[in-house]
Amino acid sequence: MESKTEGPTKIEFVRSTGGCLFENENNLKNNIMLGAIIGDVVGSRFEFNNTNTLNFELFTPESTFTDDTICTIAVADAILKDIPFGESLHYWCRKYPYPKGGYGGSFAGWVHSDNPKPYNSYGNGSAMRVSACGWLEEGPNVISQYAKKSAECTHNHPEGVKGAVAVADCIAFLRIGLSKKELKNHITLLHGYNLNQTCKDIRAGNSFNETCQVTVPQSIVAFLESTDFESSIRLAVSLGGDSDTIAAITGSIAEAFYPIPHYMKERALSKLPTDLLNVYSNFLYYKATGIKL
Ligand SMILES: [Mg+2]
């Protein structure tokens, strides 16, 4: 009998009252961008109402996607469409002008400008949106270049670029099998971040901060201390400060190291509108086939 090998098919999302179901579960082996989306959704209700505990409901009716998910999807869509990152960010952020928590002041100005220019930012927006770059097949050097470009359209301050490149590097290095200890050494050497702080230290001294140079190393520390994907998100949120973005960055890194519990995928993706889901689905299809739809 003739055997037939079927290639990956595009994921169709089917809405149900319990969340969204996936027709082709096999295509979800790659957890691309889910870490950022889950971190954003879980952290969304804590950005302006911090918690310092690990014991909280991950998903409530209040939990929603925010700017971190929109910008993450925009970066992926730029790769899929071969268009400049700035053009894609501008399109998606104008399509969703008032997410929960809004956009940072300078970024909001950039979104609403008809002639947007980089504004020398070192805010953590460059780091929270970069994860799709970390999953490209071309290897760590090309990944760093993509990450740099994804930052520079807005965050062209050296710390803004470094934040994005460091997160993409973490993903790239974990994908090729580095241990947490090796990752810590590599990132410290390459980017000079202090990764010797602990989550306990960070919680004790934390105040609201949205810069790459403060929050990217904190997000990496939350990953280093975690024991599985869920604990990485809980640790990130428990640091306080810019909770949704810290959790989005930690999740971006953690998904390259751990499997993601199915219920977390379902609950987070069920919060997304169809157009954002379509880009997510198309990016997974691109990863699986090399074809840009
Ligand atoms: Mg946010």
CA of 1 to the centre of ligand 1 (A): 54
Whether 252 is in a domain gets the answer yes
Q: How far apart are CA 7 and CA 256, in angstroms?
A: 23
Q: How far apart are CA 293 and CA 290, in angstroms?
A: 10
CA of 285 to the centre of ligand 1 (A): 26
CA of 66 to the centre of ligand 1 (A): 5
The structural domain count of the chain equals: 1
CA of 219 to the centre of ligand 1 (A): 14
Whether 222 is in a domain gets the answer yes
CA of 264 to the centre of ligand 1 (A): 18
- Phi first, then psi: give them for residue 121, nearest 5 degrees: -80, 145
Q: How far apart are CA 26 and CA 252, in angstroms?
A: 20
CA of 39 to the centre of ligand 1 (A): 10
Q: Side chain identity at 56, as an amino acid letter?
A: F
Which tokens go with 63?
């939990």
Count of CB atoms situated within 10 Å of the CB of 109:
12
CA of 87 to the centre of ligand 1 (A): 20
CA of 250 to the centre of ligand 1 (A): 14
CA of 5 to the centre of ligand 1 (A): 42
Whether 182 is in a domain gets the answer yes
CA of 244 to the centre of ligand 1 (A): 5
CA of 249 to the centre of ligand 1 (A): 11
CA of 101 to the centre of ligand 1 (A): 6
Whether 11 is in a domain gets the answer no
- Give the domain CATH number at 100: 1.10.4080.10
Q: How far apart are CA 228 and CA 247, in angstroms?
A: 14
Look up the domain containing 139 and give its range: 26-53+63-288
Whether 7 is in a domain gets the answer no
Whether 1 is in a domain gets the answer no
CA of 45 to the centre of ligand 1 (A): 10
Whether 6 is in a domain gets the answer no
Per-residue pLDDT for the chain (293 aa), expressed as one digit of tens each? 444 445 555 555 544 333 333 434 444 456 899 999 999 999 999 988 999 999 999 999 999 999 999 999 999 999 999 999 999 999 999 999 999 999 988 999 999 999 999 999 999 999 999 999 999 999 999 999 999 999 999 999 999 999 999 999 999 999 999 999 999 999 999 999 999 999 999 999 877 899 999 999 999 999 999 999 999 999 999 999 999 999 999 999 999 999 999 999 999 999 999 999 999 999 998 988 889 98
DSSP notation for the chain: ------------EEEETTEEEES-GGGGGS-TTHHHHHHHHHHTTTTTS----S-S-S--TT---BHHHHHHHHHHHHHHHT--HHHHHHHHHHHS-S-BT---HHHHHHHH-SS-------BTHHHHT-HHHHT-TT-HHHHHHHHHHHHHTT--SHHHHHHHHHHHHHHHHHHTT--HHHHHHHHHHHH-------HHHHHHH-----BHHHHHHHHHHHHHH-SSHHHHHHHHHHT-SSHHHHHHHHHHHHTTTSPPPHHHHHHHHTTS-HHHHHHHHHHHHHHHHS---
Whether 9 is in a domain gets the answer no
CA of 6 to the centre of ligand 1 (A): 39
